[in-house]
Amino acid sequence: MFVHYLNLAIRSLKRSPVLTALMVLAIGLGIGASMTMLTVLHVMTDDPLPGRSAHLYTPHLDPLPLKYQLHEGSPDPSDNLTWPDAMALLHAHRADRQTVMAGGSLTLWPQRAGMQPFTVDGRYTTTEFFAMFGIPFIRGSDWTAADDAARARVVVLSRKLSEKLYGDADPVGRNVRLGERDYRIVGVTETWRPQPQFYADKDTNVFDTEDQFFLPLSTAVDLDLQTNGDQSGWGDDDDKVPWKKSATNSWLQFWVQLDTPVQVAAYRQFLIDYSAQQKSLGRFQRPPTNAKLYSLMGWLQHENLVPADVRLQLWLASAFLFVCMVNIVALLLAKFLRRSGEISVRRAMGARKRDIFVQFGIESALIGVAGGALGLLLAQLGLWSVRQRPDDYAHLAQMDVPMLCGTLVLAIVASILAGLLPAWRACRVPPALELKTL
């Protein structure tokens, strides 16, 4: 029967090509607009580390004085950690793995003839950074905990930077000049670019950034290397203490790996206990329960990385899709009721209401398939236009396989839903009254 209904639906659509084209165009425009913005939102809120994110957490303390007021639009200093707090958490080692870090920029002085110096962005961090985030190496390895303690002048390069400087040659063991000093290359990482760059400071373009080098944090602090990102201070600093080690200046990000719910609960309690201890010492003034432990996805939600204009455009596109569906309902209702005579004849010959309903449902689904194909093309055109924008997230506007399938499914489901009322009205036409007019 399905093939028979499909035949009837195709014939019906061919009999009124202009009306069919209008309905396909309406659903195609609505699906294209909504799927464009849904895809942008999808890539901006997607899991940056599938398989690992469920075990990654970032602890946050509240060392701010009671009188401190956060002004609208200004960064929250408690989003980062101060050096004393970060070192205390690091040395307590209450997690399976842990790392503390900050972004940095240095001038690289190439040894290759003809290459001019250029600035590279990287990360100052600790050795467990690589294992915790699962960063693969193509040459060499990361540095050791002993290198961290010794403030060793070692560096790990990204594959992109290594190939730019040395081509396909193995650079491990060579020296590279960053800033005013030479560093020994100990490893080269495979291309690793989580989107968004969840571990970076919010002040960074987290959708358009890739770390080109990695240095020990202890080395960076010892040499007072340039840092990127938000640096928030409060209170009066001690002139004898460098700002990076000040207890009233937050600039460090901290991540831990916790594999079980028990470990998560224990670490959260550890943060509260640490805050209570610091309050008893007079450093912290606010309640110890202000200490927080965010999961990776919870942290992304807290940071609210999706721009307001993207959410607004999604709402507008969804409203446009709704308007398109209302128009399709009206067109289908007019189309189906215009065939009241045909419906009455079929009913008189033994067709059930259910048969009429299924037939019109299949016709609506065909419109959805055609509209979905058109919507897919329009969505790709919309995504191309998004990629031309100067926003840091624009290059991510690519439709993956789930979104491709979702476009077609949404179009079919939307058209079937739009056809429910018209099909229901059509199958309830009284056959006797219509047959009298034939």
- 200-203: long-range contacts (C-beta < 8 A, 24 or more apart)? 200/103, 200/229, 200/253, 201/80, 201/102, 201/103, 201/228, 201/229, 201/230, 201/251, 201/253, 202/75, 202/79, 202/229, 202/230, 202/303, 202/305, 203/75, 203/228, 203/229, 203/230
DSSP 3-state of 201: coil
Calculate mean pLDDT across residues 62-78: 79
Confidence at residue 208, expressed as pLDDT on a 0 to 100 scale: 67
The pLDDT score that the predictor gives to residue 121 is 92
N-terminal to C-terminal alpha carbon distance within the chain: 27
Across 40-54, 86-100, 110-124, 154-168, least confident range = 40-54
Residue 303: partners with Cβ closer than 8 Å, 6 or more residues away: 202
Digit-coded pLDDT (tens) for 134-160: 999 999 999 999 999 999 999 999 999
Check residue 438 and give its pLDDT: 47
Neighbouring C-alpha atoms within 13 Å toward the C-beta of 264: 13
Residue at 251: amino acid letter: W
pLDDT at 351 (0 to 100): 64
Cβ–Cβ < 8 Å for 341, 433: no
Residues with Cβ < 8 Å from 279, sequence gap 6 or more? 285, 286, 288
Strand 181-189 with 154-158, pairing? parallel
Nearest in space to 305 (alpha carbons), one of 195, 192, 230, 397: 195
Secondary structure percentages of the chain, helix, strand, coil, to 5? 50, 15, 30
Q: Omega before 196 cis (within 30°)?
A: yes
